Structure 1
Amino acid sequence: MGAFENRRFTYTDFCALPEGERWELIDGQLFSLAPSPSPAHQDVSEALEDILRAYFKDGSCRAHHAPRDVALFVQPGMRPEDIPVVVQPDVFVMCQAYQMGNCIAGELKWVIEILSPASVRHDKVRKFNLYQRAGVPLYWLVDPLYRTVESFTLRDGAYGAPAVYSVPDVIMVEMFPGLTVDLNHIFPAEA
């Protein structure tokens, strides 16, 4: 998962990329994403999405999933061609969402990235720092292989040490009253 060439790209360049390929635009660099997640990745993503969609079905916040382009660092009056960062979180919760170009923008409240061997560094370093800088209050790194969740909460502009959960934990998501995530329902049973 590396940068595409050594030049600064714009959102206009991003929109001109061939369809069928998945990319992220981060601070002027293009990063290719793995073409197809593993079955375990997809199972975890679908299970999380089901829980979040049910919880957020009637409010101003909604759960979404990849592939969906999310614009970060959007300012009032900004033109779509000036979008500086476009990411595709695996699962995310956004409030007050609106369309900007081909992206969704709004208050990004919770991002969940599901780790795969090809994405570990990208998710644990590059996107960790990016979401922290963007002020995303809650960031989860979900590992289907080890059946764990690392939960990072933004405090004073930074993510501290994560709370770490594993099967059979039930996570109470404090930011959203009444929302619990039972890891027995998220991770496929071990064979």
Structure 2
Amino acid sequence: MSIPDEHKRYSYADYLTWDDAERMEIIGGEVVDMSPAPSRKHQQILRDLSTAFANFLRDKTCEVFFAPFDVRLAEENKRDDEINNVVQPDLTVVCDETKLDNSGCNGVPDMIAEITSPSSVKQDRWTKYKLYEKTGVKEYWLVDPENQSVEVHILTGEQYQFQGVFTKEDTIAVHVLPGLALDLSQLFM
């Protein structure tokens, strides 16, 4: 199967049959195309974020992963054909190793960061925001390369609480990883 029919509902079982050359996600059973490829600035920010997280997490129980990395947002013990939310966040932090398998993360990660682009901003700011909030992702960052800012949301109960917008003059403490603080002047050079 090359490109799925946009009017059909899909599951992770369907997703596994698709052409690897096409980067797609499934949200609520609907296919979301992830092209075009990210910009150079997007990739630089992702590289630097991933490096900062990986260096901090060395010798710790949590792990960091960067796209493409499949995150199946489903309750435990769901069959592949019952999972209808599969995303590839730019950065994913998982602190429960039982959620990790050879296919990625099967369950809700502790933190997700999405790096916005003109083609993804609506998806990241609304569709994924609501999905991550609903499924219980504890911390969600929206990284905006254009405005050199990071918007932080922390899950309190069942809703995200807006923590603020941070710019290159700021340092952000990572809520789910006590002790990790990122100097944004190093991210937005």
Name the counterpart of 2:186. 185
Is 1:95–1:107's contact at 8 Å kept on the other side of the alignment? Answer: no
Note the 1:1-191 alignment, pairs <5 A.
4-76=5-77, 78-97=78-97, 98-99=99-100, 102-187=103-188, 189=189
Q: 2: CA distance between counterparts of 1:179 and 1:148?
A: 18
Q: 2: CA distance between counterparts of 1:70 and 1:109?
A: 12
Is 1:28–1:84's contact at 8 Å kept on the other side of the alignment? Answer: yes
Q: 1: CA distance between counterparts of 2:5 and 2:37?
A: 19
- Report the identity percentage: 35
- The code of the aligned residue for 2:59 comes to D
- The code of the aligned residue for 1:83 comes to I
Query: Moved runs in structure 1, 4+ residues, more than 6 A?
Result: none
Q: 2: CA distance between counterparts of 1:69 and 1:166?
A: 29
TM-score scaled by length of structure 2: 0.91
TM-score scaled by length of structure 1: 0.90
Tell me the CA shift for residue 183 of structure 1.
0.5
Q: Provide structure 2 residue ranges, at least 5 long, that are not aligned to the other structure.
A: none
RMSD: 1.7
- The code of the aligned residue for 1:171 comes to I
Q: 2: CA distance between counterparts of 1:112 and 1:157?
A: 19
**Cα deviations across residues 97-136 of structure 1 (Å, max 9, x unaligned)?**
3445733224411100000000000000000000000111
Q: 2: CA distance between counterparts of 1:17 and 1:104?
A: 19
